[in-house]
Homo-oligomer: A and B are copies of this chain.
Amino acid sequence: MDAKASPSSRRELTKTQNRETILEAARLVFIQLGFATATVRDIIRATPLASGTFYNYFKSKEEVFQAIRDETALAVRPALRAARLKAESAEAFIAATFRTFFAYVAANRGSFAAATQTDSIHVRIDTPEVLAGFAELRQDIEQAMSRGLFSTLDAEFLTAAVVGVAFEMAEAMQRRATMDAEAAAQFATALFMAGITALPGHTADAN
């Protein structure tokens, strides 16, 4: 009846909180049980909410997973693009890509890669948002090529190589007790700039 900051904000607040509660619970459950093993019920149980409430927010565990991934992807991508656009050398481009990516993964442990569960079964799920991120990388690579940053090479294969190294190394990094994003970024960048002979830790070739 009188001055209120945001009418019906209590309801809205609860809705946002519940959504976040579910997402947070799902994150934990996916890490602990793995995406495939986890059930909607597991997620609900990790929550103070009733079972039906889940379905007011998501239709399935796949949708929750998408939401988690998209939340992350939407946050990472702008940072990645900005860093790459600013790059004035191939190394800067590559380094920016890996550094930003690994830093994000380290900061959001569990958001990426539905864990290495059940006897080393390896599952990776790419949402449209994540795929869009790949497409952006490829565009940026092609643009960098036309900027003269890279020579003319197979952009599709290079994109695949970057994506593959990024995701696979991210998983390896997550398996470690201490996640050193900077070390991972340096390793990947060195590999892409000069191959294995340039990798950190390299001393001399015995052959």
Contacts and interface: CB of A to CB of B under 8 A. Distances in A.
Interface of A: 34-37, 62, 65-66, 88-90, 94, 118-128, 131, 135, 147-154, 156-161, 163-169, 171-172, 184, 187-188, 191-207
Contact of A195 (B156, B169, B191): B191
Given A36-B36, A124-B124, A167-B164, A154 B199 contact: yes
Contacts of A120: 128, 131, 135
Given A62-B119, A203-B151, A164 B169 contact: yes
B153 A207 contact: no
- Most B CB atoms within 10 A — which of A156, A160, A165, A184? A160
Contacts of A89: 207
24 contacts: A34-B123, A35-B118, A36-B36, A36-B121, A62-B121, A66-B119, A88-B207, A90-B205, A120-B128, A121-B126, A121-B127, A148-B207, A150-B196, A151-B206, A152-B203, A153-B199, A153-B202, A156-B172, A157-B187, A160-B169, A164-B166, A165-B165, A193-B196, A194-B197
A172 B122 CA distance: 19
A65 B124 CA distance: 15
Nearest to A198: B195
Nearest to A207: B89
A187 B153 CA distance: 9
A8 to B, nearest CB: 14
